[in-house]
Amino acid sequence: MRKIKRAILSVYNKTGIVELASFLGTHGVIIYSTGGTASLLRENNIDVIDISDLTGFPEILDGRVKTLHPAVHGGILASTDPSHVDTIASMGINPIDCVVVNLYPFVETIAKEGITHSQAIEMIDIGGPTMLRAAAKNHERVSVLSDPDDYSEFMQRFEDGGIDLALRRAWAQKVFEQTSSYDKAIFDWMRG
């Protein structure tokens, strides 16, 4: 069982995120977040640290770049290997133990009447799939939640003593299924 000390919450679909963040906060988990998610958590009196405070850089390019940074991905991808632990420590990077991300609604967007090419392009999520894939790759250490339907099980297992490897692996599998479907939808749309 792995203890969760730090989590990144960055979701388009806000269903259940306030309850999950409140739960994490009451258990002493440090929460990092982006844009709209961070604003919603603050509105609900949940302590949150902006990703830009973690990275030392503001969001740029109208939000296209906010989580693509070594402070985020080094924290997610570092294993328990002593060389990884030493490397991130020497760079002032803290491990991230939990990633809660869901993706921009690309498929729903392109299904709408009158959507322009540029509007569709802006719904191609880059940082979200990148964080999800990084966390899923490192599921031996990191819990990854890409589906609000999994929040209640996460909280129950957390309270019961921790998230075991089998559950982290199942959530990682779900991530790779979702990201591959997401990429396939983008490919099909671009192919015309």
Give the model's confidence band at 1: pLDDT under 50 very low, under 70 low, under 90 confident, else very high.
Answer: very low
- Strands, sheet with 49-50, edge to edge from the N-terminal-most edge strand: 49-50, 30-33, 6-11, 98-102, 143-145
Determine which helix (DSSP H) or strand (DSSP E) holds 160, and give its type and residue range.
Answer: none
Dump the DSSP string for 74-87.
Answer: HHHH--S-HHHHHH
pLDDT surpassing 50 at residue 38: yes
pLDDT in tens, 140-156: 999 999 999 999 999 99
Domains of the chain, earliest start first: 6-191 (3.40.50.1380)
Bigger pLDDT: 104 vs 174: 174
Could you tell me the two tokens for 171?
A: 């959530």
Read off φ and ψ for residue 13, nearest 5 degrees. -85, 110
- What is the structure's pLDDT at 89? 86
Chain-centre distance for alpha carbon 51 = 11
Distance CA 192, CA 187 (A): 9
Nearest to 49 by CA among 170, 173, 41: 41
Q: What's the whole-number average pLDDT of the chain? A: 91
Is the pTM higher than 0.85? The answer reads yes
Distance CA 144, CA 97 (A): 9
